[in-house]
A and B are shown apart, each in its own frame.
Chain A
């Protein structure tokens, strides 16, 4: 099983494609146009709809109303905090794991890879029911308060980020000679903590950013887990809006879309091929 990690690979090269001749070219353009319509039409109509909040005129009234809604600010900032917490937790689990697997247990790599891919196989609904059954009963009772449920939510998000985070980190580790760098640092007197902090993490910077931004893009609008854990985050906020409002959900959808694309754009920017390292 493989997943696409195209934006993650810093050194991914684009293969030159032979331009198709004559009639083939027309067909190619038709395919591109059909694809564009398929993807862009919903966006365009959503955009159109989001601008029609005031009768018979175009305007950003729907956006203004959404941004003015205190529930938006609250839920969005809560999601941002959750995302950051999930990213930190995920990094603390994945980086040492991937490092250790690369260094000492290369034979376990397929096993770890499989485990990190489980969130793709297990639907979010199953995950959240599993969490509630496991942690919602004594002695843990993590679902008792809003804040303890939030801890559970962050843990679930960290798990959801594993496929992206592990791939990014693993790519980063493969790009450097982990074993020799570790041994060089060891012979110079460095402890494991120093090696991780001063050698491994800094050299994984770009890979970690990719993983982090992908995680951010997923977590920011996540609905299912948040809903079942009764969290008032951005996902449930949007879902709620859809039920009660007409134009605002369209505006909201575009905002969420823009955030995701900004995150992906940032990854592409940070991982662009460079001949010189700039610091």
Chain B
């Protein structure tokens, strides 16, 4: 597919320190891409360069075949939604939504029709005459979304739009954003530090750390096949056990007294100390899987659909997430247990890279 929005070798420095480096990404039309990473990883700076609020130190940004690297923000036709909503407090909802259309000197009749259409889209058709301060946070963010969409932007940019909202509203609005995005088939970039949000919403996730892209891929891919140690630890939970390589070629390591088989060769010589990484949901408290360790139950936390059990084993502590069911026998703290996991769930990492 042809790239619609494309960032090429983008680098941004602020007073000597590098905020973004070697950022290259092609986004196709209608795609929903999330930038995911901890604060300070450069995700917002990258978004702001697409919006035009920052200018790249080097590199190029093209949108719909046009080089916009140095274009002014008010000439790019991008829609932006901010964490703080940023509605104009002196204007009604309808005037806020119409602002971009007024600036474009669109005819009043067409403008009013467009505003009505957008208020319908965000399910707030009766709030046109309300002022922002009369709306809830969730409603304000819907209006901000409508305002950004009113100008028929080429690309929609969302900068942590749900961070200021309550958990329940956040979930609701998350699906709302995805629904609207798919309905309008609008190319969207979504910045977040919340992995759940990124995984739930996106066609592709861009995981960033220290100004660089760590991995780009569909959520399932990024979660299950993390490309780097950072991605593995940032996206989802991860257990880490100390291990020693016993056979590099066959991918066998030793944890405590137990041999652990993996499915791929280990990139470290025999005898070297490594980490064995495991997802909590891939562990079971039985001896049914390829690898079995013995340990002692430390804590048991009942979370509803999930029961989180911490088990002390030789070489560290493992957290196992078990699915709740009515017939489940809850482990008891202090008791001995077996804990097993399949060979393909193992991921070996050298100590230096962590």
Contact = CB atoms under 8 A, between A and B. Distances in A.
Interface of A: 176-177, 180-181, 183-191, 194, 198-199, 202-203, 205, 277
7 contacts: A176-B89, A183-B80, A186-B73, A187-B78, A187-B79, A189-B74, A190-B99
Contacts of A184: 80, 82, 86-88, 144, 147
Contact of A189 (B51, B86, B151): B151
A277 B51 CA distance: 32
Interface residue tally on B, bucketed by range: 20 to 34
A189 B71 CA distance: 12
Contacts of A176: 89
Contacts, number: 70
A188 B51 CA distance: 11
A176 B51 CA distance: 22
Contact of B88 (A187, A189, A199, A205): A199
A202 B90 contact: yes
B77 interface: yes
A191 B74 contact: yes
A188 B147 contact: yes
Contacts of A205: 90
A198 B82 CA distance: 19
State the main secondary structure of chain A at its contact with B.
helix
A199 B86 CA distance: 11
A257 B244 CA distance: 89
A182 B235 CA distance: 34
Given A181-B86, A198-B88, 20 more contacts: A176-B89, A180-B82, A180-B86, A183-B73, A183-B82, A184-B87, A184-B88, A185-B99, A186-B52, A186-B53, A186-B72, A187-B52, A187-B73, A187-B80, A188-B100, A188-B148, A189-B104, A189-B151, A203-B88, A203-B89
B89 A189 contact: no
Contact of A183 (B51, B87, B89, B144): B51
B133 interface: yes
Contacts of B86: 177, 180-181, 183-184
Contact of B53 (A183, A191, A277): A183
Nearest to A187: B80
Nearest to A194: B103
Contacts of B90: 199, 202-203, 205
B84 interface: yes
Q: Which among A188, A199, A277 has the highest number of chain B CB atoms within 10 Å?
A: A188
B23 interface: no
A190 B103 contact: yes
A69 B178 CA distance: 75
